[in-house]
Chains A and B, each alone.
Chain A
Amino acid sequence: MSAQGRQQTTDLLPEQVRAEIDKWIAKYPPDRQASAVMAALRIVQEENGGWLTPELMDAVARYLDMPPVSVYEVATFYSMYEHRPVGRHKVCVCDSISCMLNGSGKLLAHLEEKLGVKPGEVTPDGRFSFKKVECLGACVDAPVVMIGRKYYEKLTPAALDKLLSELD
């Protein structure tokens, strides 16, 4: 790594972030530090207020000695990584088959109307953003919505409204 590259990496990945990533690197055999990429992206994303920038992904790539494009691949494959700013509460609506059959479309339309933004956008007050995601693995209770790290199941638009009103 060039001196400049090193400098950029330290600027973008502060001490405690690197320490956190190092814990994950330690879980894998030496030379397999790239295996920590998902954890690293999650840590970096959290530190950055819930979303990733190309510069941050590049910093992760440098830190884990990976081709940048391999990091982009991972970061664009999984829906938990964000590439635009998100609201304080990120509402993830499952849109896969079971939820779709049980009315996820209605939830999405409702959210769009209620919040006045499209999927991927943030409400002007910064409170909410919402997006479609793939199967959340809770199909028995479709339709499913994840807000933050919590699952809410068998939702209707009314139930969703209630949920949202309880959030700050």
Chain B
Amino acid sequence: MSDDSLVTIEIDGISLKAPKGAMVIEVADAKGIAIPRFCYHKKLSVAANCRMCLVEVENAPKPLPACATPVTDGMRVFTRSPKAIAAQKATMEFLLINHPLDCPICDQGGECELQDVALEYGGDVSRFSEGKRVVPDPDIGPLIATGMTRCIHCTRCVRFGEEIAGVKELGAAGRGEHTRIGTYMAHAVTSELSGNVIDICPVGALTARPSRYSARAWELLQAPSVAVHDCVGSNLSVHLYQKRVNRVVPRENEAVNECWISDRDRFSYKGLERDRLLVPMVKEAGEWREVAWEEALERAASLLKANAGDGLGLLASPSATLEELFLLNRIGNGLGSANIDHRLRQGDFRLDAEGVALGGLGTPLAELSRAGAALVIGGNPRKEQPMLGHRLRKAALAGGKISYLNGREFPLNYRPHAVITAAPGRWVEELAAIAAALFNLAGGEPPAHLSPLLEGVEIGDDHRRIAESLVEAERPPVLLGVQAVAHPDFSWLASLASAIAGASGGRHGVITEGGNGAGAWLAGVVPHLDAGGGRRSRPGLDARGMLEQPRSAYLLQGVEPSADCWDPLVAGGALEGATVVALTSFDTPELRALADVMLPVAAWSETSGTYVNAEGRWQRVRALAEAPGDARPGWKVLRVLGNLLDLEEFDYQSSEEVADTLRALMEELGSANDTVPSLPGMRRLKGEGMVRLAAAAPYRVDGLVRRSRPLQETVDGRDLALRIHPDDATSLGLAEAELVLVRQGEAVVSVPLVLDEGVARGCGWLPAASEWSGRLGGMIAPMEISAD
């Protein structure tokens, strides 16, 4: 920063340099000078409505609000002068007039900004003897408890909705003393970031409903952790009560999640309490028996050994720790099987044959918020990876041109540059048209393998606009969302995305599933690359392949097949006929039916380990909560399994040691290759007939989230119905239907129907991992819809 952009000011006698235009409160905060405040929040616009931050400024006739007073050269500020303190105390007295002072029964007690500031500035006896106002508490959904009598009208929550969440759901109705914060018309809030208002509300007006009244703030232990439900890896502080997770709040990391987290990351911990598998179990003659660890492990080892080699398939959750994934790879290698994968919801693996590694975003998260343009293909980051969606929104608000190619017009909280809505069978053509427009514009020859595809495609206005925006922007991200990954022609989409990024000077990337998708690539939990990224000499079968060509035995690491696999029907069929050893945190009827050995492993927060986020950031966590029953950390279970299988190099003492081994391996091999050199095979999905389009429903992505009741009760949690365009419904004779039959191959399931003009003609949105889709076929695949 050059010197003329700085001014010199003095606060409480301390001389400071400050950037021009900064507010006094920012400068004081940076220096650690405390100024009381309620409405000010560094990430929100300045409202200056609470007046708690009044300070004395030399030559100003009245005290000024520090949050709304820009610094000027030579300014002298006094935050603790008699005049300042008198103003602060007077404000405090006014604020407390209508406050109920019910701290003993308020969940915020002990961590309340109002309480803290009142302790310092409040009187001990109230001079107000009139009646206080009472405000009824609106029900705004299962996540946020309201106590609106306590509200001090700072409007932080209102501004959060408008400015950060991008949907204004809370507002200030009425006026003066009669102001009420709420939705006015009763409804539950729907923002995927809504829980953050709990943190920013300075009083107990908005508190966390799922953890309300369960512990006092001072009884909780705080420890750092990382969220595992999407590839962002938001940083968390876990609050533990007697070794159990009591609640989860954001831990500030400007480069990852700033100071926010998604509702999914905040409330998924509720799933820790349900369906836990407490003891190792083995099935004998169809009967489950609880056994000691030794017996269970020996049984598991002998079953695996008996099926060693190509008969064995290994499937892992993309939210497992890096250590678990790495050891799983070792076990696969040791037993001579490269049939190993974590890409459970991927629809097309033909790029594997090229040795391509597509496990990263290509662009750092922080850079996304500065993108001048971006193209998202087959994804709805707003709900699927909320903090990534938030970054794109920031970019859009700053003038970035964010475009989408999707099968459904997902409601956005900003104005996109262009949105192309087409049935999945047309995505290749649409993307090809963008690529063709781009090559026309930017010049240069398209890669030879794409030329036939680009020739003669019809370029429309939207294709051209997107191409222009990408060419004009500096390093625009081209992102393949989870729906693109689930597409049966993902390899074609990736090939085109890579060419588009190349021609526009941008970078392509994949939005991976789970909290450790990128880690799984590094750990060699893919059939074509080994740990560290080296190519396997003998590649194995991928996640779809090893289920479509059933193996004799499977080792599952945190997988619930009907919810987690691309084609639940095929998965169920393959596992039913095979020997199955399952490492699982949850005891489910499905695993009871399919598995032969169930080993209880620690869930998120109960195990140490490393997660690698989509930008390649390694984040190590400690075990915080106590795993229930006999459950053990997955990495330890796998280590012992490795020992019992007499495999080499399985004597790790700590999870760090495992991760360090992998890191050393990576350094040896250098970085993986993510350019897509070809267009493999034939198109699989063309634009005929009705096609199902799916991603996992946002609150169904993994076992933990699925078991969080509060999340299931939200508006998004209940949004699982089939959506088709009204015109499609009419032509199918279903315009009035509420329930319809969906058929995929052998499977027929009755599902609720919603008509949605945003869905492209020719396809139906039916999310994965719902109670219905668990009995259906492929996520993006033909389906038939008929009257129930």
Contact = CB atoms under 8 A, between A and B. Distances in A.
Contacts of A70: 168, 171
Interface string A38-76: 000000000000000010000000000001111011001
Contacts of B162: 67
B173 A76 contact: yes
A72 B227 CA distance: 37
A68 B172 CA distance: 12
B458 to A, nearest CB: 27
A3 B184 contact: no
Given A3-B757, A54-B185, A76-B184, A69 B175 contact: no
B175 A77 contact: yes
Nearest to B182: A69
B169 interface: yes
Contacts of B168: 67, 69-70
Contacts of B174: 76-77
Given A67-B167, A67-B168, A72 B185 contact: yes
Contacts of A72: 171, 173, 184-185
Interface in B732-788: 757
A2 B757 contact: yes
A69 B170 contact: yes
Nearest to B757: A2
Interface string B169-197: 11111111000000111000000000000
B169 A76 contact: no
Interface string A148-167: 00000000000000000000
Contacts of B183: 69
Contacts of A3: 757
Nearest to B180: A76
Among the interface residues B170, B183, B184, which one has the most CB atoms of the partner chain A within 10 A? Answer: B184
Contacts of B170: 69
Contacts of A2: 757
Contacts of A69: 168-171, 173, 183-184
Nearest to A3: B757
Interface in A89-147: 134
Contacts of A76: 173-175, 184
A78 B184 CA distance: 15
Contacts of B167: 67
A168 B173 CA distance: 35
Contacts of B185: 54, 68, 72
A4 to B, nearest CB: 9
Given A67-B167, A67-B168, A68-B185, A73 B173 contact: yes
A58 to B, nearest CB: 8
A69 B176 CA distance: 18
Contacts of A134: 175-176
A69 B183 CA distance: 7
B692 to A, nearest CB: 23
B206 to A, nearest CB: 16
Contacts of B171: 67, 69-70, 72-73
A54 B185 CA distance: 8
A2 B171 CA distance: 24
A67 B185 CA distance: 12
Contacts of B175: 76-78, 134
Contacts of B184: 68-69, 72-73, 76
A73 B757 contact: no
Contacts of B173: 69, 72-73, 76-77
Nearest to A1: B757
Nearest to B175: A77
B166 to A, nearest CB: 10
A67 B163 CA distance: 13
Contacts of A67: 162, 167-169, 171
A37 B616 CA distance: 48
Nearest to B168: A67
A3 B175 CA distance: 35
A76 B169 CA distance: 16
20 contacts: A2-B757, A3-B757, A54-B185, A67-B167, A67-B169, A67-B171, A68-B184, A68-B185, A69-B173, A69-B184, A70-B168, A70-B171, A72-B173, A72-B185, A73-B171, A73-B172, A73-B173, A73-B184, A77-B175, A78-B175
Interface of A: 2-3, 54, 67-70, 72-73, 76-78, 134
Interface of B: 162, 167-176, 183-185, 757
Give the top 7 A-B pairs by smallest Cβ distance, nearest first: A69-B171, A67-B168, A72-B184, A76-B173, A73-B171, A77-B175, A76-B174
